[in-house]
Amino acid sequence: MSSVTVGTAMQEVIDHSEVVENEFVKKWKEGGGKVVGYTCVFTPPEIIDAAGLFPYRIRALGNPNTEIADSHLARFNCSFCRSCLQLGLDGTYDFLDGLVESNGCDHIRGMYENWQYVKPVSFFHYVKAPHVITDDSMDYYREELRLFMKALEEHFKVEITDEALKSSMEKQEEIKERLRTIYEMREGKNPAFTGAEALSLFLLASAVPDEEFIRMADAAIEERKGSSVSGYRARLMLAGAATDELELVRAVEAVGGLVVTDALCYGLRAFYSPLDLEGDPVEAMADVYMKDMLCPRMYEEYAKRRDFILGKIEDASVDGVVVMHNKFCDVHGVDNVQIRLDLEKRNIPVLALEKEYGSRADVGRIRTRVQAFLERIGG
């Protein structure tokens, strides 16, 4: 089911995307470089990059263990956040020189603050993003970005110039262009990448130096030109909570549901909107990372999220949508109900999945539901 020949270029991407501390991170550290970790899409990696630091997007890669994290976060905290905290505390993320906290949700705040409380890193900064978009809130967020820059400058004894920011933004745009090309290639009539492969490419983009990602992505794109995935029963869209679970997408695709697009923050939501490279860098970043983030934490922006999903369903000829959230995820738990109702109203088949993050025991249940969903939509 859902198969395509994996060549050496794609295999290289997959291999590097499946480890937290990949060899490029190691090399960067060996050369004396510093790495700063972040999670939420409203933390501009350009700023970290412009400070001469390596921006690394924190991930848990489906890690099912949370025993150390459970001493600090409760069982009713989102299991993705607990999994990330576990990796922070068990030494997996010892290569990080800094953490950028964000108020994406209260669970992720708990993750950061417990991490810093139990095992402090030398640089810890909290970027606060407003929950509404108004002139005042945009001013506030731009000010937050400037404070973030100042904190980096002071701690790492560097200067973030406008030139450096612009250059980082250009590099980030080059990365995003690759990701957009990859998504176009999977959304087309003959998808050239599986959803799991697209996720591997996405994860790699925020875990290796820019030039390494561009090299590997270009090779994978070249390798897949003219190829198409075969053997799938239906074209699915994955929407909902943050997930970097390659195994989950593989499980969905193993029963024949090819994930041709998504509306995920470890996915399309993070790169669909292009940066304006001409104007003021802080203005440009604020416009993309605040106004276009499509996260359900932005309570008033529901219509924009819904329309984004509806547009993507059209673009990618989606047969059915899987909306998922981790147990106890408040923001997506609420948003997914509204999304499901809105899709059902338009007779778009939708499967709502509540799951535990990274639990292998959950894969069987998910497979059964997805398979039944495919049988239902006639895939």
Partner 1 sequence: MPFAGIDVGSLTAQAVLIEDGRTPLLKTIGVRLLYKSISVKPNPLDSARTVMGELLDEHGLSWGDITYCVSTGYGRDKVQNEGLAQENISEISCHGTGAFSTAPRVRTIIDIGGQDAKVIRVSEAGDLDNFVMNDKCAAGTGRFLEVMSRTLGISFQDLGPLAIKARSRIELSSRCSIFAETEVLHFLQKGYDKAELAAGICKSMADRVMALVRRVGTEPEVMMTGGVAKNIAVRSELERMLGQHMLSSNIDPQIMGAYGAAVLAQRSGGGS
Q: Which residues bind partner 1 (CB under 8 A)?
A: 327, 354-356, 362, 364-365, 367-369, 371-372, 375-376
Report the residue number, 167 or 371, with the smaller CB distance to partner 1: 371
Nearest distance, CB of residue 66 and partner 1, angstroms: 15
Nearest distance, CB of residue 265 and partner 1, angstroms: 23
Report the residue number, 29 or 327, with the smaller CB distance to partner 1: 327
Report the residue number, 215 or 367, with the smaller CB distance to partner 1: 367
CB 276 within 8 A of CB 254: no
84 contact partners, CB below 8 Å, separation of at least 6? 39, 58, 59, 60, 111
Nearest distance, CB of residue 78 and partner 1, angstroms: 14
Classified as helix, coil or strand, 261 is strand
Q: Can you say how many angstroms the Cα of residue 140 is from the centroid of all Cα atoms in its chain? A: 24
CB 297 within 8 A of CB 269: no
Nearest distance, CB of residue 379 and partner 1, angstroms: 12
Structure tokens at 306: 């819904």
- CA 161 to CA 359: how far, in whole Å? 44
Please, which residues bridge with residue 262 across strands? 238
Nearest distance, CB of residue 368 and partner 1, angstroms: 5
Beta strands in the chain (DSSP E): 35-38, 54-57, 98-102, 123-127, 234-240, 257-263, 320-326, 350-355
Nearest distance, CB of residue 335 and partner 1, angstroms: 18
Q: Which whole-number Å values give the CA distances from 368 to 251, 256, 371, in the listed order?
A: 10, 12, 5
Nearest distance, CB of residue 197 and partner 1, angstroms: 22
Please, which residues bridge with residue 37 across strands? 56, 99
Report the residue number, 311 or 364, with the smaller CB distance to partner 1: 364
Report the residue number, 67 or 375, with the smaller CB distance to partner 1: 375
Nearest distance, CB of residue 207 and partner 1, angstroms: 30
CB 110 within 8 A of CB 79: no
Nearest distance, CB of residue 316 and partner 1, angstroms: 23
Report the residue number, 128 or 367, with the smaller CB distance to partner 1: 367
Report the residue number, 257 or 281, with the smaller CB distance to partner 1: 257
Report the residue number, 145 or 258, with the smaller CB distance to partner 1: 258
How many angstroms separate the first and last alpha carbons of the chain? Answer: 12
Residue 51: count other Cβ atoms within 10 Å of its Cβ.
Answer: 25
CB 235 within 8 A of CB 258: yes
Report the residue number, 130 or 358, with the smaller CB distance to partner 1: 358
Residue 226: count other Cβ atoms within 10 Å of its Cβ.
Answer: 7
Please, which residues bridge with residue 259 across strands? 236
Closest CA to 186 of 89, 82, 318: 318
